[in-house]
Structure 1
């Protein structure tokens, strides 16, 4: 039941001999991930403004990019989504997710703040977590100066970024800080042990493979004893109650499918409002590929609409 467009994309990747991520150095992998945007991603839509910022981080400044949606004024106070890009904590940056952040901003009418957290293996766990938490705190602290509504700030991300967004929401609650307004978790990694059935079922042939996941995790968390740390595996946190409402989006042919579903279920069982939405015919990473996968554009629109509704005044 793989979507024909996804099947065609995978066939084209194989035909062109695109090297698997795990066969590349992190530097090479980052360049390939950045360069393939032109093939799979739609053109970046115009927004009202884009501003480069720097948050105060634990080991120096954290680059941010603030998007304000079309139709808004510079002095208009907006709700905001703090967004963490995917890429296995090893690849990805502000540019790889530029189009998606623009689409989410325009579709929701909310500002989007994209976070360029430190990457592994140069900066291993929990560096990305520390940056993610620091960036979200900085955005809330500077909300008035940024013309953002500090009481209507959500966190979100895809894949590794979904992992970080979930961890940020838990960390804020555990620290006794005001809760974030909402969570957007797009095929999040929630358990570093990677033992869910979908890892076996979807572990080969669907772009994100077991070898690539081992590559990412090996760079990010080389000590397997740390897999049980909830900052690495938020599914393992003993208390998922009193967290922001969440939309958890998964893909049917994604190795991470089952742990995303399990996270949504555990949120619901703990009394946290969570909605699970699955694109059963899609592969990991599909939401970035709207130029070649039509359902990606549907997914973006659904996420943006849910964000708009969640942060409505």
Structure 2
């Protein structure tokens, strides 16, 4: 026991030194907090890797187990808080965590907010979002449900998407049970959940048997896996290099591998994180340039060391690694709107409210998506919080004032537009 404790202490000390050496920009106001969040990620990542050597389980399972220990899980039984009743139920066999304002009487006109959590397709901590979702329920009178979809690696693509689509379709067709007006339903998600939400909205809009969603609310969403060298990816790489444990090109590629294949495919992770998984012919095509164009990113958001993404040059690699096998094997999935809503059909979609943060690899995905939506004549409201970082909306206002600003702005949109 003493030996393991000593090892843990050494790991923590090394991680602290490792994290405190990372550079941060002078204008960023939450340096210490950001380093603490990063430290938490590094310790979790390192512990999960070590656990895999010991118990033989894959990294994703151990990462999830470790975070479950570190983050208190949400109560599975009914619980009350103020005027909001939280209860676990099911929509067509898909588990959801619902929030209902007990002081409101049903009149059939209540709006609804269906939320899809993030976590890289691998992680789930429903209780993390309770404060935000209870706020929407209590202050605005929304019926709120958080969809607990099947995680990877147990559920491979497109399982998470299918679960969320199934739950949303059932809700639209049974909205009267919750005194909800089906024409006032908002689909929302954060991070990878934002990707699923955007894809589900595209599917729902094609279904003539249900009303179109009223709006889509995407919080710092990931919307594509074709370009891992957007300015925001480059900025994170400049800040942190190849360090694991934080949301960067390596972590995103790793989680994507677990979602697509149910395992860590080393070559796939290396190719995607190295941005060499897409051939130059496609990158230069009009279909790609129309949607994934760095010119959509304002110059002020391209940091000083930004370079236009280099061409896919494999000439220096061993001959067996110079082919486009990764692309040829996986291009259908990588271009599928269920995984890459950036390449989907955008015409006729509902208004989008999109949140981005200054410190976030997904920032430019969201900016490009807003530009694409507007070109398709879809209204898009983009709210950018430069002095904030990925996941901030769930932080207490006492810690990150911009989190309070994010929530206030979101509530104002939901109050006025829905």
Give the SS at the match of 2:43.
Answer: coil
**Aligned match of 1:191 in 205, 210, 224?**
224
Alpha-carbon shift at residue 85 of structure 1 (Å): 0.4
Structure 1 CA distance, aligned partners of 2:371 and 2:388?
Answer: 21
Q: Could you tell me whether the CA contact under 8 Å between 1:193 and 1:227 is conserved in 2? A: yes
* 1:179 corresponds to 2:212: yes
Alpha-carbon shift at residue 100 of structure 1 (Å): 2.3
Unaligned runs of 5+ in 2: 1-24, 49-58, 73-79, 262-328
5 Å matches for 1:95-114?
A: 95-114=127-146
Alpha-carbon shift at residue 197 of structure 1 (Å): 2.2
Give the SS at the match of 1:4.
Answer: coil
Q: Could you tell me whether the CA contact under 8 Å between 2:38 and 2:246 is conserved in 1? A: no
Alpha-carbon shift at residue 94 of structure 1 (Å): 2.5
Q: Could you tell me whether the CA contact under 8 Å between 2:143 and 2:178 is conserved in 1? A: no
Alpha-carbon shift at residue 16 of structure 1 (Å): 6.8
Alpha-carbon shift at residue 75 of structure 1 (Å): 6.6
Structure 2 CA distance, aligned partners of 1:94 and 1:103?
Answer: 15
* 1:65 corresponds to 2:171: no
Alpha-carbon shift at residue 23 of structure 1 (Å): 6.3
Q: 1:34 to 1:292 in 2, by over 3 A?
A: farther
Q: 1:292 to 1:36 in 2, by over 3 A?
A: farther
Structure 2 CA distance, aligned partners of 1:75 and 1:36?
Answer: 42
Structure 2 CA distance, aligned partners of 1:100 and 1:93?
Answer: 13
Q: 1:16 to 1:173 in 2, by over 3 A?
A: closer
What's 2:82 paired with?
Answer: 46
What's 2:368 paired with?
Answer: 262
Instruction: Encode CA deviations 1:117-176: one digit per residue, 9 max, x unaligned.
Output: 111111011001101111111111121112222121110010111111111110012233
Say how many residue pairs are matched: 300
Structure 1 CA distance, aligned partners of 2:224 and 2:82?
Answer: 37
TM-score, normalising length: structure 2? 0.66
What's 1:215 paired with?
Answer: 254
Alpha-carbon shift at residue 268 of structure 1 (Å): 0.9
Instruction: Encode CA deviations 1:275-313: one digit per residue, 9 max, x unaligned.
Output: 1111112111111122522211221121122112222xx
| RMSD of aligned Cα (Å) | 2.5
* 1:140 corresponds to 2:172: yes
What's 1:240 paired with?
Answer: 346
Q: 1:17 to 1:142 in 2, by over 3 A?
A: closer
Larger Rg: 2
* 1:4 corresponds to 2:43: no
Greater relative CO (CA pairs within 8 A, separation 6+): 1
Structure 2 CA distance, aligned partners of 1:274 and 1:207?
Answer: 29
Q: 1:251 to 1:111 in 2, by over 3 A?
A: same
Give the SS at the match of 2:127.
Answer: coil
Unaligned runs of 5+ in 1: 39-43
